[in-house]
Amino acid sequence: MRLEPLEDRHEEPLWDVAQDERVWRWMRVRADQSREAFREWFEAMLAPGTLPFATLVDGVPLGHTSYLNVRDGDRVAEIGNTWLASQAWGTGANTEAKLLLMQHAFEDEGFLRVEFKTDAANERARAALAALPAELEGVFRKHMLVRGGKRRDSAWYSVIDDEWPAVKAALRERLAREARNP
């Protein structure tokens, strides 16, 4: 697995693997519904204020993740807008991407906190965040409008710098287990 800064050259390969509605079920928009919807999503990821990455598995773009809401003055960043094509599910790509992004945030950038938020009803994402392990901080009720105006409650999680060594060890152990048992 590799993360590359998102560029125009990633748009077509990502569109090709973004057709599974399960990928977009919990996202803010349904970029799988049309080429135009995907283009709008892609352009939004390239807008200022987001640091987007294409997630490559065996050299093939199979998803996206990004740093969002970076607050340099507070030394805080969010990791989000993460999706993977279904063929990358269970490969360890998401685990490795989280490890790389948090490692960069804590060790290279000196951040004190990394945040995550997900739809409170998204049990799969919540289980994955708890397994990092990230700390559940609460649910923000009616936090945002998604998918055509539907209200979303968002579950907020975080990892702080004091927790990072244990989280890093847990992620490395999980990746080692996944490599032994593909």
- CATH assignment at residue 100: 3.40.630.30
Residue type, 110: G
Judge residue 1's burial from the number of C-beta atoms within 10 Å of its C-beta, 0-12 exposed, 13-18 middle, 19 or more buried: buried
Q: What pLDDT does residue 126 have? A: 96
Q: What pLDDT does residue 153 have? A: 95
Judge residue 182's burial from the number of C-beta atoms within 10 Å of its C-beta, 0-12 exposed, 13-18 middle, 19 or more buried: exposed
Q: What pLDDT does residue 70 have? A: 96
Q: What percent of the chain has pLDDT over 70?
A: 99
pLDDT band at 49 (very low <50, low <70, confident <90, very high): confident
Sign of CA dihedral 22, 141, 144, 151: positive
What contacts 37, CB < 8 A, 6 or more positions away?
Answer: 29, 30, 31
Cα(128)–Cα(148) distance, integer angstroms: 26
pLDDT band at 147 (very low <50, low <70, confident <90, very high): confident
- How do residues 30-44 score in pLDDT, each as one tens digit? 899 999 999 999 999
Burial 29-46 (b: 16+ CB within 10 A, else e): ebbbeeeeebeebbeebe
Q: What number of residues does the chain have?
A: 182
Cα(47)–Cα(112) distance, integer angstroms: 25
The predicted model gives 96-117 an average pLDDT of: 98
Residue 61 belongs to domain spanning: 2-180
Q: What pLDDT does residue 182 have? A: 64
- How do residues 73-99 score in pLDDT, each as one tens digit? 999 999 999 999 999 998 899 999 999
The model carries a pTM of 0.92
Structurally, the chain folds into a number of domains equal to 1
